[in-house]
Structure 1
Amino acid sequence: MRSSASQPKVQRQKRTEKLIITGASRAFGPSLLALLGSLTLNWPHHPPVLVYDLGMDEETLAVLQENRIEVRKVPAFVPHWRRHFTWKIWCWNDAPARDVLWLDAGVVVLQPVDELFDVIARIGYFINPTYYLLSDTATEAACVGCGVEPEFRNHKMTFAGGVVGFRKEGIFADILSWALQIASVEEYIQSTIPLGRHDQAILSLLIYKHIPNPIMLDAMIYAGWSSPCQVHGQKIWVHRRALLADDMEHFKRHVSLPGEPYIPADPSSQKRTLLARARQALKKPIFALLRSRFSASKSKIYDGVRD
């Protein structure tokens, strides 16, 4: 790695075999509780969960304590730790387990996904494509940090950082360690282009660099974004705080209380515009590539902070 920064220290505790990890700030507290409820209802025999605290409010923390959900506060390990999703890479490294599944707080699980841990055990990782080109999401500075030429980005997809899994052994343990070292230099992880994707860019560059022909799973199944019924057999919905209020409350009541499987409603079904129907028909692979080409210049550069 070309980065000369020292690697931030992470906690080292006794590791378990399997672990689900997530993290939330104050703004994502309700979504976090909905995620936990979806795990209880729709994946009742899931591995234990560890929540990383990015500044949650007292009410959310009290619910987690009441339901005996383990919480770990992310330290200010570098000045920019809360920006650019730098904290997420720290969490990946800190997670005290051999096999780890990261789920963003803005997702809900619709069915059991035990097979993701089977994939991790077999090939060492689980990744989804975002259907954005890496040449549009990775900055030249990120390439410098990862020790690759800018042309290395060409003709490659970006991997998602919102739903990702890995075995913290072998090459992927090295990738996580390198990613944290690189991300500790703000220039390498910050976005300077409209479609820049911070942690996703660094993770993608390092995976392509060190894993020839990486295997991707179906993002429609494991990271569907437009609705909880986007495709037949969908297992995870990346709703990004779009859950309807009734569904949010239902999941929150089941943070640790067992119940019947529950599929939330499709928010877009209440307001189905022509554009929404067209977007759904095109699906993300085509839509995202078109958007990356024609709307990048109009997009706002995002620093990764949502409070």
Structure 2
Amino acid sequence: MVNFSKKLTTDQVPGWEEYYFNYKLLKARVKVYTVQTKQGNHDRRRVLKDFSKLLDDEIEKIVLFMIEQQGLIAARLEELGKRRAVLEDIPLLQEITELREDYRAVGHDLVRLLRFVDLNANAVRKILKKFDERLGYKFTDYYVRSRSNHPYSQLQQVFKHVGIGAVVGALSRNLGDLEEREGSYLNIYDQNPLAIPKDPIIDMIKATADKLTNSTNFLRFLGQHALIRQGSIADDSPEEQQVSEDKYHFISLVLNLANTFLYMVNTYIVVPTADDYATSLGAAATVCGVIIGSMAVAQLFSSVYFSAWSNRSYFRPLLFSSVVLLLGN
């Protein structure tokens, strides 16, 4: 199990270290806030304000660097486009090969930028999760809601990675034009996209972009509390896992398991054998049908009652149903 701080350091692009999210700084600040909370000498509003400012500064640093790199990539694509225009008049095989390799080099740089954004987005998600768990706040909801549509917020740029699609499209189109099409004069826009020869770097870019989209989709971030995925606990330290495990209610877990077990026994053992049992006691065949049908009728009425009851409380209906199932079986 790799600690996320180490993963963040290991996966950094050489030369870009200063532009990554300063996870260690904010993690240390969360520890300070936690100690102050235990000692009872902290101001909640000041904590939220200070931590929000730290996050804003870090995200702004990431976004400005991302925009700068996108500009450099766009400038390189523009320069390559001029070279390609010259080759349309005088097509030289060696020059075309070199131009294709230069486009691929731009593609590799784009992949690096996508991974940069993905790693930083995960760092933001994790520090928000850590802050909420350690201090018991719903800071993630506040932070995302207050900055999701604010004109001065840079948060959307991180999760929407604006401009990446245009760069991918430009790379795909130009590499497609440079591929030999055996004398075809069709424009790539007139062909089936699946039939156009695709350079391997395009597949790599698409896979990286899809991964980034899945992990940083802004709507999921807003709706699922900072993209806390089911597997994210595995990346945390043992101390973080202990905080999450303490939230489980043991009695509720036992009741759910017992309830499920008794329901399965009732469905697959008691009801199918109820007619044989009734017959062995000397009951009529119609009584057997009533016994079997009573379960469906009981489910119909209880579903309405328990639905209304569980809207007010969940533990009591669960306890009641477990007791009834135990007595019935």
Q: Which has the higher helix share?
A: 2
Q: Which has the higher strand share?
A: 1
How high is the TM-score relative to the length of structure 1? 0.24
* Greater RCO, CA 8 A, separation 6+: 1
How high is the TM-score relative to the length of structure 2? 0.23
